[in-house]
Chain A
Amino acid sequence: MKNSVLIAFSIMFLGLAQGASAALNVFACEPEWGALVQELGGDKVSIYTATTAMQDPHRIQARPSLIARARSADLLVCTGSELEIGWLPILLRQSGNDAIQPGKAGYFEAANYVQMLEKPTRLDRAEGDVHPGGNPHIQTDPRNILLVANALLPRLTQIDHNNAAYYEARHKAFADRWKSALQRWEKEAVPLKGLPIIVQHKGFPYMENWLGLKEVAALEPKPGVEPTSSHLAEVLSQVQSQKVAVIIRAAYNDGRASDWLAERAKIHALALPFTVGGSEKATDLFGLYEDTIQRLLSAIK
């Protein structure tokens, strides 16, 4: 037994001799941040995206594969505001990686750099799955993407100083392209202003704020609580009285509740990509918002 302990220790210390790889290893909690780091980092970064658009980011399990990837990350880019509270703390604690611990340059929470909406005034689990820091789904407003990009740039240059000029140039090119895309999207989205909508999960307040949509109701009676039939019946009466045009949900949401309601109320049920990879056209950040707006516009035609 003593020998096997010794062998284990020697294997561990052999491991210590391993060198670091060339590209900057980035662990992105959600696809939108993986895509953003790709825009800024180009071929100087190697990105692992922990979740896909078809997964509910609130309910990821701390799988072994995620722990292994956190172990070798130089930079962790996550949403924060407790979106990843159910899994990220385990990855951090088990990673044995000092570079990505909170407070270090390698730990980046996007929600720290934008204005948070829906900060709860009452913290009570009876209110469902509430996030004390505010609604974490900040990526539904593309203006937030630029703010996060601005905050991400100094982190990249700080961690990978040698490629600072490269990151700066890519950031500038991205910001320019993004600003003109923003203008285009806002112009296209003018007809959406004031559009009454119903959401499945309260995942779109930032988009509503950006485009001037009016959220009339949510299918989830409380955030994170599955729609119930009595609540759906209540929402149905609201649809009829408030001329709701569309029910929207994220790509990962189960579509049955919104399809049920759409059929009863004779209105559209839309699955929005919600993040990069959430639809065929949302292959990158630009595609994400283009497709989102096109889908919304299609509902009012």
Chain B
Amino acid sequence: MFNKTPCAVAIGTALMVIFSADVMAADSAELQKIHNEIQQLKENYEARIQSLETRLKDAEAFAAKADDKASQVASAPVSGPPSGANSFNPAISLVLSGTYSNLSQDPANYRITGYVPSGDIGPGKRGFSLAESELGVYANIDPDFYGGLNFAMHPDNTASVEEAFVQTIGLKRGLTFKAGRYFSGIGYLNEQHAHVWDFVDNPLAYQAFLGTQLGEDGLQVKWLAPTDTYLELGAEIGRGRSFPGSDRDKNGAGASTIFAHAGGDVGINQSWRAGLSFLQTSPQNRQYSVIDAAGDTVKNAFTGNSGLWIADFVWKYAPNGDPAFSNFKLQGEYLRRREDGNLAYKVDTSPVISSYASAQSGWYVQGVYQFVPHWRVGLRTERLSSGGVDYGVNNANLLRPDYIPTKNSVMVDYSPSEFSRLRLQLAQDKSRQGAADNQVFLQYIMSLGAHGAHIY
């Protein structure tokens, strides 16, 4: 290895010796000239040595790098970046689901006693049927946006767009905006797709107050607080097209929500999330059919204001915080709705318009326990309160039953892998007065392709 100083000295000395004989004989001018030449030579060499030294340093650094590399594995080939026209294609996932249902009551006349029906409710068809199957396509659009589309294929051969949204990624300071069609951020279950539900169906309260799940066309903003405890605030304005709202031909927003969620860990084994949400809609001519006091099936329409509060919590336990082997999840939600406005009784034939006011509530609590890998059992109990309903002058035409719908469900599911699940669910559904429905469901849920991460 070179060392700069001794090297320069050696070369300098050699030069001195070579020239010294001439130096003795020369005059002072000559001497000066020689001196200059030596100086120049010295500088020349100095520069060359310096450049050599730099090269050496580079080589050393390179060798060190190669050393690190060499000390590492060499058996796997280094692959280049993926190429091909489809390498930028979004993640595509397909969820296949089917059920077999055995129901002791006819699902065709399913109605939650004392509740305004919302359309998409009930236990579904008897016998074999396709459950909701979904096709999802999601990807980052560019460094600033993420977007996706989720098609749901329904048992009756219709398809619907469940989600089609764009959202910001990595805005600063905890802000996220979302626009398009999306599941509203209210409550706990509302944002979850059917294939991650712990039971075959959504709770009665979700069916009664949200028509199973609130999808919204609109704009959402969420803000995450810069705290170690999770605190998220959100607000949405939207079209209010789906129950409890109604589609309408009007500028502006038909629905707005506001929600707050907090959460965190307790020690290493437990985690939780709790929230409070409010949904405000102003349905216009929201129609539904019902059996009136005379026993006839009639069509009514509601126009007015609807406000829904949801309080939700979920608590999870996993030994060491590792849910892989066993874990337990307890969740519950309480929903309370107030509606007031006008009701048109027999809206199609001979309408009788009256005032309408109602205050109704409901809750569910469920626990799901994974006792060994792959196997889970779950228990859900739920109850609705018909509360107070006032039809004004139509109190004479419409029934106001004093009834408390209840339902209890038990399920066991087996997941051979995280991509497949088979489920058996037994339920006693007393949502219809005087007609307890004993239900047996068998269900499969399989997911193909890209398998996105699940929300908490």
Query: Do A and B interact?
Result: yes
A residues in contact (CB < 8 Å) with B: 1-2, 4-5, 8-9, 11-12, 15-16, 18, 52, 54-56, 58-59, 61-65, 67-69, 71-72, 85-90, 92-101, 103-104, 114-119, 125, 128-129, 134, 141, 143-144, 146-147, 150, 182, 206, 209, 224-226, 252, 254
Segment of B26-34, B169-177, B359-367 in the binding face: B169-177
Q: Which residue of chain B has the shortest Cβ distance to A16 in the bound complex?
A: B173
Interface check B374, CB cutoff 8 A: yes
A-B contacts, 16 listed (Cβ < 8 Å): A1-B307, A11-B233, A12-B175, A52-B268, A59-B322, A59-B418, A63-B263, A72-B228, A90-B454, A92-B169, A96-B174, A114-B72, A125-B419, A252-B322, A254-B325, A254-B373
A252 — which chain B residues lie within 8 A by C-beta? Answer: 320, 322, 324
Contact of A86 among B221, B229, B453 (CB under 8 A): B453
Q: Please state if B264 and A68 are interface contacts (CB–CB under 8 Å).
A: yes
A56 — which chain B residues lie within 8 A by C-beta? Answer: 322, 324
Q: Please state if B75 and A209 are interface contacts (CB–CB under 8 Å).
A: yes
Closest 3 CB pairs of A and B: A64-B263, A64-B230, A98-B170
Interface check B385, CB cutoff 8 A: no
Q: Please state if A96 and B264 are interface contacts (CB–CB under 8 Å).
A: no
Considering only residues 131-189 of chain B, those with a C-beta below 8 Å from chain A are 143, 146, 167, 169-176
Q: Which of B72, B171, B278 has the most CB of A within 10 A?
A: B72
Q: Please state if B453 and A147 are interface contacts (CB–CB under 8 Å).
A: no
Q: Please state if B170 and A1 are interface contacts (CB–CB under 8 Å).
A: no
From residue B373, how far is it (CB to closest CB) to chain A in Å? Answer: 5
Q: Which of A115, A119, A134 has the most CB of B within 10 A?
A: A115
From residue B144, how far is it (CB to closest CB) to chain A in Å? Answer: 9
Q: Which residue of chain B has the shortest Cβ distance to A21 in the bound complex?
A: B226
A2 — which chain B residues lie within 8 A by C-beta? Answer: 256
A65 — which chain B residues lie within 8 A by C-beta? Answer: 228-230, 263-265, 271
Q: Please state if B320 and A52 are interface contacts (CB–CB under 8 Å).
A: yes
Given contacts A206-B73, A226-B373, whether A18 and B323 have CB atoms under 8 Å apart is no
From residue B370, how far is it (CB to closest CB) to chain A in Å? Answer: 11
Tell me the complex Cα distance, A206–B71, Å. Answer: 12
Interface check B227, CB cutoff 8 A: yes
B residues in contact (CB < 8 Å) with A: 68-69, 71-79, 143, 146, 167, 169-176, 221-231, 233-235, 237, 256, 258, 261-265, 268, 271-273, 278, 280, 307, 316, 320-325, 373-374, 417-419, 448, 451-456
Q: Please state if B72 and A89 are interface contacts (CB–CB under 8 Å).
A: no
Contact of A98 among B172, B222, B228, B230 (CB under 8 A): B172
Given contacts A63-B265, A69-B228, A93-B167, whether A150 and B68 have CB atoms under 8 Å apart is yes
From residue B169, how far is it (CB to closest CB) to chain A in Å? Answer: 6
B325 — which chain A residues lie within 8 A by C-beta? Answer: 254
Q: Please state if B235 and A63 are interface contacts (CB–CB under 8 Å).
A: no
From residue B90, how far is it (CB to closest CB) to chain A in Å? Answer: 13
Q: Please state if B226 and A72 are interface contacts (CB–CB under 8 Å).
A: yes
Contact of B175 among A11, A96, A103, A182 (CB under 8 A): A96
Q: Please state if B264 and A64 are interface contacts (CB–CB under 8 Å).
A: yes
Contact of B223 among A12, A89, A116 (CB under 8 A): A12
Contact of A63 among B222, B256, B456 (CB under 8 A): B456
Tell me the complex Cα distance, A8–B456, Å. Answer: 23
Q: Which of A63, A116, A252 has the most CB of B within 10 A?
A: A63
Given contacts A94-B224, A115-B74, A117-B73, whether A61 and B172 have CB atoms under 8 Å apart is no
Contact of A5 among B235, B452, B455 (CB under 8 A): B235
Q: Please state if A55 and B225 are interface contacts (CB–CB under 8 Å).
A: no
Q: Please state if A62 and B174 are interface contacts (CB–CB under 8 Å).
A: no
Q: Please state if A71 and B224 are interface contacts (CB–CB under 8 Å).
A: yes
Q: Which residue of chain A has the shortest Cβ distance to B268 in the bound complex?
A: A52
Q: Please state if A8 and B224 are interface contacts (CB–CB under 8 Å).
A: no
B222 — which chain A residues lie within 8 A by C-beta? Answer: 94, 96
Q: Which residue of chain B has the shortest Cβ distance to A186 in the bound complex?
A: B71
Q: Please state if A97 and B68 are interface contacts (CB–CB under 8 Å).
A: no
From residue B62, how far is it (CB to closest CB) to chain A in Å? Answer: 14
Given contacts A1-B258, A71-B174, A150-B68, whether A62 and B263 have CB atoms under 8 Å apart is no
Tell me the complex Cα distance, A100–B324, Å. Answer: 27
A143 — which chain B residues lie within 8 A by C-beta? Answer: 68, 71-72
Q: Please state if A90 and B453 are interface contacts (CB–CB under 8 Å).
A: yes
From residue A12, how far is it (CB to closest CB) to chain B in Å? Answer: 4
A86 — which chain B residues lie within 8 A by C-beta? Answer: 418, 451, 453-454
Q: Please state if B323 and A59 are interface contacts (CB–CB under 8 Å).
A: yes
Q: 11 more A-B contacts (CB under 8 A) besides A224-B418, A254-B325?
A: A4-B258, A55-B320, A56-B322, A61-B323, A65-B228, A72-B228, A86-B454, A87-B453, A96-B170, A141-B73, A147-B68
From residue B271, how far is it (CB to closest CB) to chain A in Å? Answer: 5
A115 — which chain B residues lie within 8 A by C-beta? Answer: 69, 72-74, 76, 78
Q: Which residue of chain A has the shortest Cβ distance to B168 in the bound complex?
A: A96
Q: Which residue of chain B has the shortest Cβ distance to A86 in the bound complex?
A: B453
Q: Please state if A54 and B74 are interface contacts (CB–CB under 8 Å).
A: no
Contact of A97 among B73, B174, B374 (CB under 8 A): B174
Given contacts A54-B320, A68-B264, whether A96 and B223 have CB atoms under 8 Å apart is yes
Tell me the complex Cα distance, A146–B264, Å. Answer: 34
Tell me the complex Cα distance, A226–B324, Å. Answer: 10
Tell me the complex Cα distance, A92–B452, Å. Answer: 13
